[in-house]
């Protein structure tokens, strides 16, 4: 399998009643062999942006990645996932069985949920202090960790709820947050991973127009 640059967009072209995904525009249609140099506007290539971002460039965000490896290498759709929260400088705070950690690297390929709108100046100026103080609490000591009930997700969601509380907004439970903010993004990521892996193996990936859904289009994603 030839790895592609994971931050580069993929492209989609339409030909032979199919959507053909590739890492660059092929010279010829892989189905009919016709040259793709002169296309109608309808057949013009469309860019498919990667759903993954470098978490260290995301400020005040919830991040999700595989516990080991990356989404595009080694992830099989069932592997354990790990989550964290970034401060205003992309330093990632996360919690596991050895306590709270602050990472300057290791979160380069993530699904990200922005937690603060750019105009929330008060929250932005206090974010780093909030996060630091929150992370120092006794409940995040290593011995308090429990794989299913007091884990990385508990840590991140409790922090998000503290922030919502400070803004006098309604708190969210795990399933609410996951369904509203995480699943729309992971669904898109999962589709992208399928396309990416096929392109690595076969050079392209094609679906019939009728089978196509809109998960790869840059649809609207909710932010907090």
Number of C-beta neighbours around residue 74 at 10 A: 10
Tell whether residue 206 is a contact of Zn ion (CB under 5 A).
no
Kindly write out the interface string for residues 19-48 of this chain, putting x where it contacts Zn ion by CB under 5 A and - elsewhere: ----------x-xx----------------
Tell whether residue 15 is a contact of Zn ion (CB under 5 A).
yes
Tell whether residue 16 is a contact of Zn ion (CB under 5 A).
yes
Give the binding-site size for Zn ion (rule: CB under 5 A).
5
Between helices 152-166 and 121-135, what is the axis angle to 10°? 140
Q: Which is nearer to Zn ion, 95 or 204 (CB)?
A: 204
Task: Mark the segment that binds Zn ion (CB under 5 A) among 12-20, 154-162, 164-172, 193-201.
Answer: 12-20
Q: In angstroms, rounded to a whole number, what is the distance separating the alpha carbons of residues 202 and 188?
A: 21
Tell whether residue 120 is a contact of Zn ion (CB under 5 A).
no
SS3 144: helix
Q: In angstroms, rounded to a whole number, what is the distance separating the alpha carbons of residues 171 and 162?
A: 8
* Bridge partners, residue 82, by sequence: 65
Contact 23, 8 (CB under 8 A): yes
Tell whether residue 105 is a contact of Zn ion (CB under 5 A).
no
Sites of contact with Zn ion (CB under 5 A): 15-16, 29, 31-32
């Amino acid at each position: 399998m030839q790895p592609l640059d994971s931050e580069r967009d993929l492209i989609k072209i339409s030909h032979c009643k199919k959507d053909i995904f590739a890492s660059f525009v092929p010279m010829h249609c892989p189905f009919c062999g016709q040259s793709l140099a002169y296309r109608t506007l309808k057949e013009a290539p469309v860019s498919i942006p990667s759903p993954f971002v470098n978490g260290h460039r995301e400020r005040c965000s919830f991040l999700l990645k595989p516990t080991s490896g990356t989404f595009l290498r080694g992830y099989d759709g069932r592997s354990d996932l790990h989550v964290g929260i970034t401060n205003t400088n992309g330093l990632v705070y996360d919690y596991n069985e050895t306590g709270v950690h602050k990472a300057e690297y290791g979160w380069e390929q993530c699904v990200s949920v922005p937690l603060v709108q750019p105009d929330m100046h008060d929250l932005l100026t206090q974010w780093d202090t909030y996060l630091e103080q929150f992370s120092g609490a006794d409940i995040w000591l290593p011995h308090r960790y429990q794989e299913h009930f007091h884990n990385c997700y508990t840590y991140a969601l409790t922090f998000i709820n503290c922030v919502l509380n400070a803004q006098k907004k309604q708190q969210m439970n795990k399933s609410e947050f996951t369904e509203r903010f995480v699943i729309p993004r992971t669904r898109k990521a999962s589709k992208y991973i399928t396309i990416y892996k096929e392109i690595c193996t076969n050079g392209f990936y094609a679906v019939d127009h009728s089978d196509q859904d809109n998960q790869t289009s840059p649809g609207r994603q909710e932010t907090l």
